[in-house]
Amino acid sequence: MTNIADLTLAQLRDALKSKSITSLEATDAYLNRIESANPLNAFITVTGDKAREMAKASDEKLAKGEGGPIEGVPLGIKDLFCTEGTLTTAASHILDGFHPRYESTVTSQLWRDGGVMLGKLNMDEFAMGSSNETSFYGNVINPWKREGDETPLTPGGSSGGSSSAVAARLCAAATATDTGGSIRQPASLTATVGVKPTYGRVSRWGVVAFASSLDQAGPITQDVRDAAIMLRSMAGHDPKDSTSVDRPVPDYEAVLGQSVKGLKIGVPKEYRLDGMPAEIEKLWAEGIAWMKDAGCEIVDISLPMTKYALPVYYIVAPAEASSNLARYDGVKYGHRTDNYEDILSMYENTRAEGFGDEVKRRILIGTYVLSAGYYDAYYLRAQKVRKKIFDEFTDAFSKVDLILTPSAPSAAFGLGEKSNDPIQMYLNDVFTVTGNLAGIPGASVPAGFDKNGLPLGLQLLARPFDEETMFKGMYALEQAAKVSARPKEWWA
């Protein structure tokens, strides 16, 4: 029999419902895998006892023919989601010992629907990064390696624990968050599916804030069907998040397999970057051909503001972060320095010790662009350009239904290769940040491999709240790309 932990979430759900396996068996299979996969460093906290308790409760429901849509399915949770009574760190030293007294809306909805928590996944500190190298808890390793080359590679970031764990089958699916690309880029680098929903589709309540006007939670999964199932449980209006939108959550799984014939697919010429590997260019062309073969109409479009997206993002995101992170002062929770004389030196030394270099860089940039003398020149101007980026997408979506681009400008890279070069690191998100700035949904689907055997993804962007059309397109891409290779289990 195949290992239970090799099933997709959908297969596992069906096997649990038909009682051919129990949640406890599935949970133990994953806990064993997690233990043997220690070298990947995907988890910060493994909640084995809690998982087995939740699994037993699920099994009781399943035995009576009851339970929610994902009853008994073991999940990994990015350590940015507050989980009641379970250490929540945002991968930062400053949140040492933080055991929230409340549960984030997203995770509480997953438990409502029957999910089982395996533990908390590693990530970049406060979700700032593209390689998971800024975590206080150490690097996460990508289960994929270049053929014939032992160099440890990044699983992407900031949701690197989520992408690595799903690619290595350490959980049936994972939660993740995306402020500038942190769901889609790691998905692209690990041959997993990542969905960033429309801003407002998923509640941010109880998710440690990075940049509140850009942050959005979504799933990283093994395939498109699993992403549809996860998003349905994660999404929905929440009175506790005033930016969450009161619209019914569709059954995303129901649209999978529906024809994409007649859909108009936009191909923006500005996403053709100088110096982009030829293989990514080629894969994009293949993706265009697949959609055409499926009956879509391909439309060349232009999004000239794209070139300003990264600079705008690196003003807006740090500005919001500098404000959001002002709360970490060592007073009520988290790390507090031993080295202080008065309240001011307590704040200063706590923050100096508690935050890593990248987080400090963002706080410095953020306070600078918001300061009296520079607010108009940077922050206000960035907000104006952000509006133009939004308008450009609105205009594009009056002509096309979906936009197809590469997900990331490169395949997985070696640890340390970009960590001393913030500009190179920031370029990882060149294709994804536009979606956050405009608030539109975007997804990465595994589409092929480079010459070293490393995964590459393609991105679909859609109209606000039109995740259904996006899922239709994603499924069509997945069917055409037929990516089925798995990473070798070199760590086991």
State how far the alpha carbon of 64 is from the alpha carbons of 17, 57, 59, 60, 67, in Å: 10, 11, 9, 7, 8
- The residues pairing with 406 across neighbouring beta strands, listed in sequence order, are 458
Tell me how far, at minimum, the Cβ of 273 lies from ligand GLN, in Å: 17
Compare residues 128 and 291 and give the one whose CB is closer to ligand GLN. 128
Inter-residue contact 38 to 83 (CB < 8 Å): no
DSSP 304: G
Which of 331-357 are b and which e, b meaning 16 or more Cβ less than 10 Å from the residue's Cβ? Answer: eebbbbbeeeeeeeebbbbbbebbbbe
Taking alpha carbons only, the member of 22, 6, 20 closest to residue 73 is: 22
- Give least dist CB 243 to ligand GLN, A: 17
Q: Are 446 and 487 in contact (CB under 8 A)?
A: no
- Active-site entry in 23, 130, 135, 158: 158
Q: Which of 23, 182, 188, 419 is catalytic?
A: 182
The least CB distance from residue 280 to ligand GLN, in Å, is 18
Integer Cα distance of 405 and 265 in angstroms: 10
Please, which residue, 71 or 178, has the CB nearer to ligand GLN?
A: 178
Q: Catalytic: 182?
A: yes
- Of 264 and 361, nearer to ligand GLN (C-beta) is 361
For 12-49, letters b (16+ CB in 10 Å) and e give: bbebbeeeebbbbbbbbbbbebbeebeebbbbbbbbbe
For residue 416, report the phi and psi dihedrals to the nearest 5 degrees: 90, -15
Task: Provide, rounded to whole angstroms, the least separation between the CB of residue 321 and ligand GLN.
Answer: 8
Pick the closer one to ligand GLN by CB: 5 or 208: 208
Q: Which is nearer to ligand GLN, 459 or 469 (CB)?
A: 459
**Quick check: is 78 catalytic?**
yes
Pairwise CA distance, residues 193 & 188, whole Å: 7
Give the footprint of ligand GLN on this chain (CB under 6 A).
127-130, 158, 178-182, 210, 317, 429
Q: Cis peptide before 18, with omega less than 30 degrees from 0?
A: no
Annotated active-site residue in 23, 58, 78, 410: 78
Least spacing, CB of residue 182 vs ligand GLN, in Å: 3
Could you count the other beta carbons within 10 Å of the beta carbon of residue 138?
Answer: 12
Q: Of 37 and 209, which has the nearer Cβ to ligand GLN?
A: 209
**429 or 450, CB closer to ligand GLN?**
429
Q: How far apart are CA 337 and CA 438, in angstroms?
A: 40
Active site residue 104: no
309-324 vs 357-370: helix crossing angle, rounded to 10: 100
Task: Supply the minimum distance, in Å, between the C-beta of residue 438 and ligand GLN.
Answer: 14
Strands 216-221 and 173-178: antiparallel
CB of 313 to ligand GLN, least distance (A): 7
Give the active site residues. Answer: 78, 158, 182
